[in-house]
Amino acid sequence: MAVDGFGRRIDYLRISVTDRCNLRCVYCMPPDGVPWKDPATVLSFEEIERFAAAAVAEGISKIRLTGGEPLVRKGIVGHIERLRAMTGIEAIALTTNATLLPKMAKDLHAAGLERVNISLDSLDPEVYAKVTRGGKLADALAGIDAAFDAGMHPVKINVVVVRALDQDLVSFARLTMDRPIHIRFIEYMPVGGEGEQTVGGACSSESSAGDWTIEDHVPSDEILTQLNAACLAAGLGELAPVPRDEAPGGWGPASYYRLPGALGTIGIISPLSHHFCGECNRLRLTADGKLRMCLFSDNELDARAVLREGSADDVRALIRAALAAKPESHQMRVGTVRRMSQIGG
């Protein structure tokens, strides 16, 4: 079992398999994207698998693949199959924008992918196109259907709530009525853009990720109060808390609610307003092989160098060093050097 310096059990590893993405979400990337990492600096699947094996030996049992967009990396299905086959891995999950799921979901599920988190910030085609800078809502919706058809479970939808986007949250709540979809509203986080010029809110037409402002951050208590009022006004009834043991099995810190008669649930994730560092259970490996101990801290260990020059024991020692260096809590610092697309969320 892996335990960090503050007694927290760390059993969850998020691996970014690429910094490349087929969308350009306004709060995640600048309009022209970010320069892609030199492929020579990106970990090969073989290197990631060696890292995962070392992590499992140190007590990691859950792996989530993320990106960039993980499904744009060639060979991802075979990679998932090999990770899933490792003794000690309980489950593999994926965070994706879902646009490639229509053609990949069946193969991914057959390879051992059970859990999928789909990022979707609006159910209005125009707002979706604006947020993703050109994405088609129909592709993401087809991806959700494909995940269900392939038998994935649970299917969760991540919605980042940004004030300037004026999102219709009730439209998401409605989705939970007829299918076991789990919507999670996530507070907009101040990641990326450190040292870059800021020109206003990330969602104004001229600006880009890194222009995080407190005005765009909607605290989770406000999200919940407004959503509840809007659900009542729409005749959907009142949100009731879901007891922890009935909540959709999660590896993270969402609080769950349910509308009367709904098959799915609504979760709220508040990394800033009610930070949950005391329950933090994860490490992150970036596509270029840096081991991050905290989403909000640029303090990283060079796993790539150890994977390329060291032994399996050296990799395990690095993971133990990361556990020892994991901070007790995040610093609420606005901005990190890496953008979210270069960390993986």
Contacts with ligand SAM by CB under 6 A lie at: 21, 27-28, 66-67, 69, 95-97, 119, 158, 160, 186, 188-189, 191, 340-341, 344-345
With a CB cutoff of 8 Å and minimum separation 6, the contacts of 318 are 291, 301, 303, 306, 310
CB of 145 to ligand SAM, least distance (A): 17
- C-beta closer to ligand SAM: residue 190 or 315: 190
Minimum CB–partner distance for residue 309 and ligand SAM (Å): 29
In angstroms, what is the minimal distance from the CB of 240 to ligand SAM?
A: 26
Integer Cα distance of 299 and 293 in angstroms: 7
Give me the sheet containing 300-302, strands edge to edge: 240-241, 255-258, 265-269, 181-187, 155-161, 115-119, 91-96, 62-66, 12-16, 282-285, 290-292, 300-302
Q: Going by C-beta distance under 8 Å and a sequence separation of 6 or more, which residues neighbour residue 67? A: 16, 17, 18, 19, 20, 21, 73, 95, 96, 287, 341, 344
Q: How far is it, in rounded angstroms, from Cα 342 to Cα 17?
A: 10
By beta-carbon proximity to ligand SAM, the closer residue of 66 and 207 is 66
Q: Which is nearer to ligand SAM, 158 or 265 (CB)?
A: 158
For residue 317, the minimal CB distance to ligand SAM (Å) is: 29
Q: At its nearest, how many Å lie between ligand SAM and the CB of residue 306?
A: 25
Beta-strand ranges (E) seen in the chain are 12-16, 62-66, 91-96, 115-119, 155-161, 181-187, 240-241, 255-258, 265-269, 282-285, 290-292, 300-302
Return the number of the residue (188 or 306) whose C-beta is nearest ligand SAM.
188
Find all residues with CB under 8 Å of 279, minimum gap 6, and list them. 8, 253
> Residue 304 Cβ, how far from ligand SAM at the closest point, in Å?
20
96 versus 315: smaller Cβ distance to ligand SAM: 96
Q: Are strands 300-302 and 290-292 parallel, antiparallel or unpaired?
A: antiparallel
What is the DSSP code string of 183-240? Answer: EEEEE----S-TTS---S-TTSTT--TT---GGGB--HHHHHHHHHHHHHHTT----E
Residue nearest to ligand SAM (CB): 345
Q: In this complex, which beta carbon is closest to ligand SAM, that of residue 145 or of residue 320?
A: 145
Q: Is the dihedral of CA 327, 332, 338, 343 positive or negative?
A: positive
Strands 282-285 and 240-241, by their bridges, are unpaired
In the complex, least distance from residue 28 CB atom to ligand SAM, rounded to whole angstroms: 4
Closest to ligand SAM by CB, 66 vs 255, is: 66
Closest contact distance (angstroms) between CB of 76 and ligand SAM is 12
Cα 262 to Cα 300: distance, rounded to the nearest angstrom = 42
Q: Which is nearer to ligand SAM, 48 or 236 (CB)?
A: 48
Kindly tell me which of 250 and 345 has the beta carbon lying closer to ligand SAM.
345
CB of 72 to ligand SAM, least distance (A): 9
